[in-house]
Amino acid sequence: MTYSAGNYDVAVIGAGHAGIEAALAAARLGCHTAIFTINMDAVGNCPCNPSIGGTAKGHLVRELDALGGEMGKTADECFLQSRMLNRGKGPAVHSLRAQIDRRKYADTMKHKIELQENLELRQAEITDIKKVDGGYELTTQMLAVYFCKTVVVATGTYLGGRIYVGEVSYESGPDGTFPATRLGRSLKDLGLPLRRFKTGTPARVLRRSIDFSELEVQKGDDPPEPFSYETESLGENKVDCHISYTNDETKKIILENIHRSPLYAGRIEGVGPRYCPSFEDKIMRFKDKPRHQLFIEPCGESTEEMYLQGMSSSLPEEVQLKFYHTIKGLEHCVMMRPAYAIEYDCVDPTAMNPTLEFKEFPNLFGAGQFNGSSGYEEAAAQGFVAGVNAAHKVLGREPFVLTRANSYIGTLVDDLVTKGANEPYRMMTSRSEYRLVLRQDNADVRLTPTGYKLGLISEERWQKFLRKQDEKKREIKRLKETVISPTEEVNRILVSRETSEITTGVRLIELMKRPQLDYECLAPIDTGRPQLDRNVMEQVQIEIKYEGYITKQLRQVEQVRRLEDKLLPNNFDYREIKGLRLEAQEKLNKIQPLNIGQASRISGVSPADISVLLIWMAANKERQ
Amino acid sequence: MKNNTTIAAISTAQGEGGIGVIRVSGNGAIEIADRVFRNINNKKLADMKGYTAAFGSVVFEGEKIDEAVALVFRAPHSYTGEDVVELSCHGGMFITKQVLRAVLVAGAVPAEAGEFTKRAFLNGKVDLTEAEAVIDIISAKSRSAARSAICVKEGALRKKITAVKDELLTLTAHLSAWADYPEEDIAEVSEDDILVTCEKAEVTLSRLLETYDMGQAVKQGIDTVIAGRPNVGKSTLMNLLSGTEKSIVTDIPGTTRDVVEDTVLVGDVILRLSDTAGLRDTDDAVEKIGVDRARKKLSQCGLLLAVFDNSRELDDDDLELIELSREVPTVAIINKTDLDSKLDIDKIKSAISNIIYVSAANGEGREDIVKAVEKIAGTGQLNPSEGILSNERQRSNVFNALNSVREAKAAVEIGMTFDAVTVSLEDAISELLEMTGEKTSDEVIDRVFHNFCVGK
């Protein structure tokens, strides 16, 4: 017998990284919000790598933080070691990555949720979703029925989860939790286009069974940099990571046992990501590569579990142990959790609008792995977008859509809903065409005004942000006005940096433009320099050195923005427009783009089709 | 999507006509036209009102290419409803295309099929009933463009473009993998790797641009000047080539006072011949004008036929001609081989590699001239199956790709970080993809996964 258990403005199914950001954002915007989890001890769990950030993912975390999300702050609070990746490769690809204490991270997130006003955290498996007047009814396995105005589905790998280890296979969520076995059926019945994806994770081994003596050590940055613009300082790095390599013997074992891999034996139907292949995939696809690198990373301060980055596998447990034992340092390692592959249900994201609301199911939203993405950071970013939009729907506010021009988050969402995902989607810097504008250092400039307008950035933080922008403006003015004379000391510095000497006085800004020079080396001759915020220096320096590229990309942004401003009708049958090619009609009907800009990015829609659309729109306007 | 850009195209019918009109439309139309048009009274087009005209010349790469009339229309009072400049120049597809080229290099982009009409419509200049007609034009033209893209796809040109694109993609994918997967042991990309690939692409792309000019030369004719000191036999030579008596042939130096033009077919190459007055310094006012014109014409020509008299020693005029020949493609023609040789042939050889001997008066040597000209025009070695750019749009893609490749190279040379270099490389790739009708989206990313073993 079901019973009526209550009403919510926003209900979030799943308390992983997507669900958390969705629920916190909705509650903070004043909506009466519930977040459901299958297991109270799995809230904010990191079932794969014990780290947050990485290339392009670090950008996502910074952007989320600039908007008022939680991931960056919590990662800072739980950090073990932090490194800015790609130093020396250019500011567009600098990315922050932090090793975190995964238990502490989960506990901290859970506690924040518990303390959040307007938000209720419940352990319950949602088994049924039903469309009703004004929203949806969610039923739990305990037969409680909740009426919810809006719903965000953020089920991760729980939805129809099935684990594979060699010949062994069983229904399961990640890390030995229960899977959500009934909700998938219900979503399918509702009419959502579900399909199967696959991902995997490596083994965890016991720290004291590893011989670190001959392994390469990887230390953190000194000083480590935080994710959040609100975190003042992180203190010292707490741990080291280690690097080792596979060898011929490892390869031999894989090749001898490849027939026992469920993927190669054809037992897994789900599509796995190319960028996160199992180790046996790497061996099979790149047979000539003599060795593969792996990282040994601690999972936390209060555990001896170590994560083997790069060693994901779905081979049988005994084979795993055998090949791990061929690796230097791991010869006698004790395996605590085996590596596994997990297959799960997710949705075709082209069924959604850029608000992450389903086109055909108003008030129903999706986020995270359920949308076909991969990674904690990608999930959190979508969770935030879906949560804000669910809240806005309830509050009667405008849709919240980020763009490719202002963020990686916008790029991520646009890619998903416009191009779809044929494999779990991972963010990469190569996915953004505006890399030199969308940097991790300037996420606050790009998005904090938006976060403030949303109401998710505090007044105090806003004032701090404004002061920082002032400081930046003053500093650029100072660099433009300060003239450096051609003294011996100046030229000594220039020569030591392998750049040409000066013969007349030049403005400081001109010296700053030279790629070889920076704040640090100019310090002795820049005597009038005021005390500057570290991030201010970073932004000023980049903006001066890359001015040409930035201006060029901003021009492209402006061109595209005009196209984004041309809105297309909802639920329109594009077969009505004569002159569009058949393929374009079909694609446009499926995607239902919001505007001309989005339409132009759909594969199969040509520039001529766009011209036809523009004319049709103009003709339409005239007719009315 | 190229929107709000300034577009340009030849808007008169193709073919040899009296007047060719190049239409430029968009926000930057007047500014761009000002970059190529020199008003005779020095007034900028930007300072002119709508519905006014100016007379002057079109300048390209520092050279005057034609006289032209510029008509200025100001938005919204124009065909497209935008700022428009129409440049009317002397006909001939060669000149007209040169003028278009100048406008494109100055910042305009080639107009898409039906784009003027489309803009006219979008700006409310064309009636609603015409909208459907415009759509028909665009879809018809886009079908023919698609067909031509397929030709590019299957032809020799495609092989060339694809080869360049592949190398750039491989490099860019390497840079991307290296940036996106810093923790995989992916080989460092060195400055040399980038420079070598860029230089290779640069060679192929600039060669393609040259063959475009060559292709044009085959179609339109090469501006050819016959030059030499007075009475060396230029007019006789011209008559030998054209087969009719065009120039007044006498033994009195300075008979040919004006630049005489004729179009002749030499082998497979069309030459637009100019017989010039001699280069000799003179006090005769009328003749002086002819000499000045000849010098000017000579420095601008596409092919120089430098004629020397076998029976006389080199004089100052000859030496000047030898110097001038260093600047332009030249065939040295040693005339009057029926007479005794007094010429210092080594001096000529030091500057000119193509030397042939004729006796124009006896009608001997035409064959040798044909061979030499074909060799220089490139058609001699021009493999017919070799990919050639066939239109302005393709040329524009290759031109932009080349620029981006050079930009990438320059960035490496001044020590910019590779993230900036990658941006230019991607620009080049997207131009080349556009040319073969492909869409830039995940080409680089696909290549990353194909070539590199990356993942956690």
Q: A610 to chain B: which residues are within 8 Å by CB?
A: 1
pTM of the model: 0.78
Contact A610 B1 (CB under 8 A): yes
Per-residue pLDDT of A551-566, as tens digits, reads 988 988 887 888 888 8
Mutation for B interface: A275, A276, A623, most B CBs within 10 A: A275
Domains for chain A: give ranges and CATH numbers.
3-197+345-454 (3.50.50.60), 204-343 (2.40.30.260), 472-549 (1.10.10.1800), 565-623 (1.10.150.570)
Under DSSP, is residue B85 helix (H, G, I), strand (E, B) or coil?
strand
Q: What's the DSSP call for residue B75?
A: T
Q: Which of A261-270, A332-341, B151-160 has the lowest mean pLDDT?
A: B151-160
Q: Mean pLDDT, to the nearest integer, of A240-248? A: 96
Q: Mean pLDDT, to the nearest integer, of B209-218? A: 64
Q: What is the CA radius of gyration of chain B?
A: 26
ipTM of predicted assembly, 2 dp: 0.86
Per-residue pLDDT of A80-133, as tens digits, reads 999 999 988 999 999 999 999 999 999 999 999 999 999 999 999 999 999 999
Contact A616 B135 (CB under 8 A): yes
Q: Mean pLDDT, to the nearest integer, of A352-367? A: 96
Q: At what angle do helices A443-454 and A57-67 cross, to 10 degrees?
A: 40
Domains for chain B: give ranges and CATH numbers.
7-111 (3.30.1360.120), 155-213+391-451 (1.20.120.430), 221-377 (3.40.50.300)
Q: Which of A307, A332, A314, A309 is nearest to A322 (CA)?
A: A332
Burial of B286 (0-12, 13-18, 19+ CB in 10 A): exposed
Per-residue pLDDT of B361-382, as tens digits, reads 777 777 888 788 777 765 444 4
Beta carbons within 10 angstroms of residue A206's beta carbon: 15
pLDDT at residue A605 tops 90:
no
Q: How confident is the model at residue B272 (pLDDT cuts 50, 70, 90)?
A: confident
Rounded Cα gap, residues A260 and A319, in angstroms = 9
B158 or B1: which carries more pLDDT confidence? B158
Is the distance from CB of A356 to CB of A21 less than 8 angstroms?
no
Q: Which of B301, B298, B350 is nearest to B324 (CA)?
A: B298
> How far is A200 from chain B, CA to nearest CA, in Å?
10
Beta carbons within 10 angstroms of residue A485's beta carbon: 11
Burial of A222 (0-12, 13-18, 19+ CB in 10 A): exposed
Q: A428 to chain B: which residues are within 8 Å by CB?
A: 176, 180, 445, 448
pLDDT for B361 equals: 76
Mutation for A interface: B180, B426, B431, B451, most A CBs within 10 A: B180
Bridge partners, B260 (sequence order): B275
Window B:206-245, CB contacts with A under 8 Å: none
| Nearest Cβ partner for B4 among A293, A312, A562 | A562
**A558: which residues sit within 8 A by CB, 6+ positions away?**
none
Burial of B123 (0-12, 13-18, 19+ CB in 10 A): middle
Q: Mean pLDDT, to the nearest integer, of A376-398? A: 98
Rounded Cα gap, residues A403 and A561, in angstroms = 9
Contact B418 A89 (CB under 8 A): yes
pLDDT at residue A475 tops 80:
yes
**A611: which residues sit within 8 A by CB, 6+ positions away?**
B112, B114, B115, B118, B138, B142
| Nearest Cβ partner for B180 among A55, A273, A419 | A55
Answer whether B116 touches A (CB < 8 Å): no
Q: What is the CA radius of gyration of chain A?
A: 26
Q: Mean pLDDT, to the nearest integer, of A334-349? A: 96
Q: Which of A175, A179, A177, A185 is nearest to A162 (CA)?
A: A179
Q: Which of B429, B424, B374, B377 is nearest to B404 (CA)?
A: B424
Q: Which two tokens stand for residue A120?
A: 């209720």
Bridge partners, A138 (sequence order): A129, A146
Q: B2 to chain A: which residues are within 8 Å by CB?
A: 607
Q: Mean pLDDT, to the nearest integer, of A61-90? A: 96
Q: Which of A357-366, A532-541, B18-27, B432-441 has the lowest mean pLDDT?
A: B432-441
Q: How confident is the model at residue A316 (pLDDT cuts 50, 70, 90)?
A: very high
What percent of chain B clears pLDDT 90, i.e. is strictly above it?
22
Q: What's the DSSP call for residue A396?
A: T
Q: Mean pLDDT, to the nearest integer, of A361-366? A: 97
Contact B122 A614 (CB under 8 A): yes
pLDDT for B217 equals: 55
Rounded Cα gap, residues A228 and A535, in angstroms = 12
